[in-house]
Amino acid sequence: METLQYILDIDPNAREKVFKKGHVLQREGDINVSAFYVKKGLLRSYIIDSKGKEHIFIFAPEGWIIADVESIEFNKPVELFIDCLEDSEVVIFDKDCFFQTSLSKEAVHKNTQLLYKRLGVLQRRVLMLMSAPAIDRYTYFLKTYPELPNRIPQHMIATYLGITPQALSTIRKKMATVP
Amino acid sequence: METLQYILDIDPNAREKVFKKGHVLQREGDINVSAFYVKKGLLRSYIIDSKGKEHIFIFAPEGWIIADVESIEFNKPVELFIDCLEDSEVVIFDKDCFFQTSLSKEAVHKNTQLLYKRLGVLQRRVLMLMSAPAIDRYTYFLKTYPELPNRIPQHMIATYLGITPQALSTIRKKMATVP
DNA sequence: ATCGTTAATTAATCTAGATGAATGCATCAC
DNA sequence: GTGATGCATTCATCTAGATTAATTAACGAT
């Protein structure tokens, strides 16, 4: 089942919108929590810490769903910013629609599959952050998201990896000289 | 709906077993992948990295489900070890049962809820690992799992936080002198 | 063209936390 | 008792990556 069809299926209020690069769909402190399906373009979610530094949680290219699950699940105010890294077509839908009781079997299956996949990705991310040095995390990133480096600036890759742009630059230099 | 009842509901083959402290339920490289519901006791999942160091992914006290979701979802061989930190009563069930099409609406709702909650927890974990210093991660750990420090040795808390036991010891000393 | 802005690189210095080693203290087996 | 084992602590040293700052290049707007 195609993800977009599934979303339109389960949320009759889902609406499609087009946003310009740079548009912020959700900011820290918001209370009206939605989830976003990326039909076209590229979104990201990130926090800004107490020192004003950005930390990117995930990138969401075409076909991905992006949302602040923690705030949805634990009813906290939104902590993640979500914005567009490219002009994007986005389907906005309600956080609660996953919990509808009237879903088709197919929709349930799709939903479970999506959640599972995301869990698997996050598991890997935690393990990498805990156990692998920055260079390995970068290599894994390149392997897993080969198309992204052409679409986003390097300093964003750095804040996704949990290091500074300077550190990433040094790593890249090292990789170029000793391949 | 109570989680245990839900599991027995969806997997007729689910079986309950009792394990001694130290028993390993699953090890790296295993292909027969199960999920485990902790009825009583305490389990953990962890990896052992290339240098032989342990990194604990999650603790699972009573009421939690523990599994290697990445290996389940992407059909990889198991990478996470799962073992008992206390004598435990565990319900072993099949990874695929979440995808059954014959689930009751109630079971579907419960399932979605469990997955969402876990996603929220992992989101927080990633953000903390990326943006917060070790002392903040420790403080958050104490707040979130207040009962665990009485049940597990400190060096395990350290490997959960992503630091060495020595570093945790230093942090605790600092917290004791300047509270 | 020229000014401003944003990105990437390089280098000098600093620091949180790792590493390695030693010590003290329980607990358990015998 | 004594020895062995595991856990926490302390200290001295080391290092990956942070911080600060300067340089250069690329791009857009006027």
Give the residue extent of every domain in chain A: 3-100
Residues of chain A with Cβ-Cβ distance to B164 below 8 Å are none
B67: tokens are 């599994």
DSSP collapsed to 3 states, A164-176: CHHHHHHHHHHHH
Higher pLDDT, B69 or A95: B69
Strand C, nucleotides covered by protein (CB < 7 Å): 6-12, 16-21
How would you class A145 by CB atoms within 10 Å of its CB: exposed for 0-12, middle for 13-18, buried for 19 or more?
middle
Say which residues have a Cβ less than 8 Å from residue A131's Cβ, sequence separation at least 6: B47, B49, B53, B55
Which CATH superfamily, name and number, covers B3-99?
Jelly Rolls (2.60.120.10)
Each residue of B88-104: pLDDT tens digit? 999 999 877 777 767 77
Each residue of A149-164: pLDDT tens digit? 999 999 999 999 999 9
Contact yes or no for A127/B57 (Cβ under 8 A): yes
Each residue of A127-141: pLDDT tens digit? 999 999 999 999 999
Give every residue of chain A whose pLDDT is below 50, as ranges: none
Strand D, nucleotides covered by protein (CB < 7 Å): 6-12, 16-21
Among A112, A113, A125, whose Cβ lies nearest the Cβ of B126? Answer: A125
pLDDT winner (highest mean) among B61-65, B69-73, B110-114: B61-65
Whole-number pLDDT of residue A61? 95
Section B53-69 average pLDDT: 95
Section B107-125 average pLDDT: 89
B96: tokens are 């695929």
Nucleotide with C1' nearest the B170 CA: D9
Whole-number pLDDT of residue B179? 54
What's the CA B153/C1' D4 distance, rounded, in angstroms?
A: 20
Each residue of B7-59: pLDDT tens digit? 887 888 889 999 999 999 999 998 878 999 999 999 999 999 988 999 999 99
What's the CA A60/C1' D26 distance, rounded, in angstroms?
A: 27
User: Cα A131 vs. chain centroid, distance in angstroms?
Assistant: 22
Say which residues have a Cβ less than 8 Å from residue A14's Cβ, sequence separation at least 6: A7, A8, A91, A92, A93, A94, A97
* Range A3-100 classified under CATH 1.20.1630.10: no
Question: What is the full DSSP assignment across A65-109?
Answer: EE--HHHHHHTPPP--EEEESS-EEEEEEEGGGGG-S---HHHHH
Distance, in Å, from the CA atom of A36 to the CA atom of A58, rounded to the nearest integer, reads 13
